[in-house]
Structure 1
């Protein structure tokens, strides 16, 4: 028994070594990485959190990891790709069985992409917890910097948990770096997960200021936390708070603007962006987003490097005069078929960073406020918000065509606009279908194998085999 306890402690310390070294080194490029001897854990912690500069570098490492991690990098195993397939926006065009399972909503619990999605998300959570632990014990970081960095770590942790709870339902709430605790963690209820998300975000809002770090929109500020709070409150159907927080973001017009030129929305530090991730986080030689690399078709399908195209459903949802159809959707013609693809990111070759990965942007906040106001019976104000998005897209305004529209019809219009506006971004369509209770209605007509239990992804079998306290979702 003593040897077993010693072994667990050894694993725990080893994992802390890895995380802390990663936090300290991730802000440098891959080319600069050097092998180091692993020193005593206490020395590592004291080194990483010895002063403002090194502690700040540890948090930069978390943001860099977000661009590299499977769950958040926009690549094959990301939320954007896999949730896009689970809904009705993307379809597979290559023989990739792991992705086909997501597209058919027939995901095996042994699916390697699902495992990578889950494990990479929890790795980021662990890194956030390591930063929080290190800062709490630090005596060398100034109080102001410590508060800021802890708020950012809490924001990122809340962001990751938002996706985990929406993809998997009840999930373990990991808030420690203790391997012995984490290895046996059971699933917390969805309300408990949302409670932590809201608590983390409120803490971040209370501490963070409104400024952008070095003029870049790559780190969370007060409005970033408010924007995620607004989204979270929308998902838990707290309409008043969803309106309140989205309103504060929208009213910050000095910081955020709905850009008229659709080709400028996804550029570096776009004024519509609330939060972006930089390709540079992947290393010094990275210049383009993964979305541009894998979405933009440069050769006819099937193409294993560009394995998806847009579904006919999303293409047919646009009016011909919709500017988003013209600027955000590309077309690749073959002899027998036309393939449409997401074209929000346009730089897939240049040796200079011109686009950042968009995580959150102002258009979503208008749609959040529109939906919250409609639910609250503020239909006139809701129409104004919805028309902001429609006007930019060159569509007829609801205030002109249907000023007396009823609540349910207005909510339906908002739902359709969210799909046309936010397609191929972070799985919005999949999450919207589920939270509004229409997933079965919509997808059962399009996917022959659809079942209600497909609403949640399976907990990876590897994780259940390692942890006897983890249970599986129904249907798997």
Structure 2
């Protein structure tokens, strides 16, 4: 398209809240300009950016957070799709006309647009309860911040959009520095933290809470402390403080059974700080992962209903990262399956953390996507302390809490996953935290960004690519830490939108 609008200025459909927050049903053919008149209208408007998260978490963010890392690869791709394999294989050129790279950009900006609609319209609407108005603003700003956190880590400098824009205004925008985007994210999350409720009634369970904003802010500070901004000790201290506030929140606790954490019967658990909500049943709101991650040519040995896509398959190094007897491996992945019919062993790895039986042949499962949970915050807290060179026993305590939960999960081998007692160096301590984050948070979209912010990507990924794809580690360069700006975006505004180095 010759005149491609860089920010995907399409309002899309609004989504309403029926009896429960998770019942997100689209309202078609709604004239958004005439719609926002009441508190109920604004509640429906707030649902819209929540709902659009399903499009990016569905697959695109998995490509960026997992497939790009050493955690997963593709066991099967249609034809010779470079759009998929170039994300995974550093020996391939990740082209700027990659459709997945473009879709991630566009769909992320649709979420931002929907959040901005809420923020632009809400002040003109009379509320009986001003606190509720502030809550709706806080939800929109959290969702905008979360989406920008993804964009800035994937692309680096990106356009900053804090309001609805006309086409002319959109064409005038250029990329702004990464640090400015992070400051914008912090502003949104600080507002969200101050104005979100601690809990919700059951019908609104799944909306972001105050602890969700605090937890994301801790993660943002950890990222700002590391690469590429390298803000260092003061930001590790900010992350420590926010993580501790979450840890001290009485509403949250680790789920005692690691497997139960991912059960479709245990959505929005005591450990979950924020989940993207999915619901199966033929309404278009179901999740695909049980089917998407199943080996392409498996029968009903892996999933009972629906197609299998064979992507996001665990790598050999991911399989080997688990200690012997760690039950999290069998819960999260498998090294193969027994074919039916035939009974032969098929050594094809697949993710099984998100299991459900699809409602129909088209993948339609009930799993939510857990974007942020308490175990993640425990490990960030432990890391923040070590990076500041302080409170080593407290850092050990929270690292070991994760291991304790794992060894108390049914299926753990007796005597395994013992507590760490000490480390000879800070580097050894940090590598132990890194490993624990890898196995605890496997297939949850954290690994790639952990490697980037800790400046471990070159060491880990050049070796991984050498082993898996014959990649020459000498060819590594830090341009690979960012994805290319989509070509259509550059063509829409070539004077102000320039390509990332190396593409």
User: Which residue among 232, 237, 242 is the counterpart of 1:240?
Assistant: 237
> What is the CA distance between 1:72 and its match in structure 2?
2.3
Count of residues in correspondence between the two structures = 445
Q: Give, in whole Å, the separation in 2 of the partners of 1:339 and 1:216.
A: 40
Q: For residues 285-328 of structure 1, give each alpha carbon's deviation from its aligned partner in whole angstroms, at most 9, with x where no partner exists.
A: 35753222211337349x97233311001101111211101222
Q: Give, in whole Å, the separation in 2 of the partners of 1:22 and 1:98.
A: 28
Residue 61 of structure 2 corresponds to residue 72 of structure 1: no
Say if 1:216 and 1:259 are closer, same or farther in 2 by CA, change over 3 A: farther
Q: Give, in whole Å, the separation in 2 of the partners of 1:230 and 1:256.
A: 16
Please name the residue that 1:292 is paired with. 290
Q: Could you tell me whether the CA contact under 8 Å between 2:312 and 2:351 is conserved in 1?
A: no
Please name the residue that 2:144 is paired with. 157
> What is the CA distance between 1:134 and its match in structure 2?
0.5
Please name the residue that 2:230 is paired with. none
What residue ranges of structure 2 are gaps of 5+ in the alignment?
A: 226-234, 300-306, 408-415, 466-470
Alignment TM-score, normalising by the size of structure 1: 0.86
Q: Give, in whole Å, the separation in 1 of the partners of 2:224 and 2:450.
A: 12
Please name the residue that 2:304 is paired with. none
Please name the residue that 1:208 is paired with. 196
What is the DSSP-based 3-state SS (H/G/I as helix, E as strand, rest coil) of the residue aligned with 2:172?
coil
Equivalence map 1:374-385=2 (5 Å): 374-377=386-389, 378-385=391-398
Q: Could you tell me whether the CA contact under 8 Å between 2:13 and 2:27 is conserved in 1?
A: no
User: Which residue among 353, 367, 378 is the counterpart of 2:379?
Assistant: 367
Q: Give, in whole Å, the separation in 2 of the partners of 1:143 and 1:283.
A: 36
> What is the CA distance between 1:474 and its match in structure 2?
0.4
Please name the residue that 2:267 is paired with. 268
Q: Could you tell me whether the CA contact under 8 Å between 1:30 and 1:284 is conserved in 2?
A: no
RMSD: 2.8
What is the DSSP-based 3-state SS (H/G/I as helix, E as strand, rest coil) of the residue aligned with 1:268?
coil
Say if 1:355 and 1:329 are closer, same or farther in 2 by CA, change over 3 A: same
Q: Could you tell me whether the CA contact under 8 Å between 1:172 and 1:187 is conserved in 2?
A: yes
Please name the residue that 2:479 is paired with. 453
> What is the CA distance between 1:422 and its match in structure 2?
1.1
Please name the residue that 2:253 is paired with. 257
Please name the residue that 2:435 is paired with. 416
Q: Give, in whole Å, the separation in 2 of the partners of 1:307 and 1:353.
A: 17
What residue ranges of structure 1 are gaps of 5+ in the alignment?
A: 1-7, 39-43
Say if 1:417 and 1:24 are closer, same or farther in 2 by CA, change over 3 A: closer
Q: Give, in whole Å, the separation in 1 of the partners of 2:25 and 2:371.
A: 26
Say if 1:212 and 1:450 are closer, same or farther in 2 by CA, change over 3 A: farther
User: Which residue among 438, 453, 460 is the counterpart of 1:435?
Assistant: 453
Residue 103 of structure 2 corresponds to residue 116 of structure 1: yes
Q: Could you tell me whether the CA contact under 8 Å between 1:31 and 1:284 is conserved in 2?
A: no
Q: Could you tell me whether the CA contact under 8 Å between 2:68 and 2:87 is conserved in 1?
A: yes
What is the DSSP-based 3-state SS (H/G/I as helix, E as strand, rest coil) of the residue aligned with 2:275?
strand
More helix, by proportion = 1
Please name the residue that 1:55 is paired with. 42
Please name the residue that 2:302 is paired with. none
Q: Give, in whole Å, the separation in 2 of the partners of 1:209 and 1:410.
A: 36
Please name the residue that 2:72 is paired with. 90
> What is the CA distance between 1:113 and its match in structure 2?
0.7
> What is the CA distance between 1:213 and its match in structure 2?
4.7
When structure 1 is superposed on structure 2, of 198-207 and 346-355 the one drifting more is 346-355
What is the DSSP-based 3-state SS (H/G/I as helix, E as strand, rest coil) of the residue aligned with 2:422?
coil
